Amino acid sequence: MDKSSKPSELYQRIWKIINQIPEGKVATYGQIARIAGLESNARIVGYALHSLPEGADVPWHRVINSGGRISLRKDNEYYHIQKALLENENIVFNNEKIDFKLYGWLL
């Protein structure tokens, strides 16, 4: 592919994919990484999310880890924000976990 891709473009690509996640659905870092062409680089997705600017039109809260859980710690401010946003989309937490059978993207 084009090697003129700038490093930041990778983030843009990841954010764009996340932006395609419909309301009421969730996706894992691994899923997004695979779609973005980063087969085994789920960490990059997380890194891109942490680098995400405030006020961005990206539903980053719909991105969770492989266990269907929020990767952040409970003492982290964003943990509560993400949980609140997800619940706002009719997504139900089952003991701090999300059921992919019901809310999994592309599923």
Partner DNA sequence: CTGGTGACCATTA
Partner DNA sequence: TTAATGGCCACCA
Binding site for DNA (CB under 7 A): 7-8, 10-11, 28-30, 38, 40-47, 49-52, 60-61, 63, 65-67, 71-72, 78, 82
Nearer to DNA, 11 or 105 (CB): 11
- Going by the DSSP 8-state scheme, the letter that residue 23 receives in this structure is T
| Shortest reach from residue 48's CB to DNA, in Å | 7
Nearer to DNA, 16 or 43 (CB): 43
| Shortest reach from residue 2's CB to DNA, in Å | 14
Please calculate the CA angle 77-83-85 and round it to the nearest 5 degrees: 100
- What stretches of the chain adopt beta strand conformation (E)? 27-28, 63-64
| Shortest reach from residue 69's CB to DNA, in Å | 8
Nearer to DNA, 21 or 49 (CB): 49
Report the C-alpha gap between 21 and 48 in whole angstroms: 16
Asked whether the beta carbons of 41 and 33 are under 8 A apart, the reply is: yes
| Shortest reach from residue 66's CB to DNA, in Å | 3
CA dihedral 100, 62, 105, 2 (to 10 degrees): -140
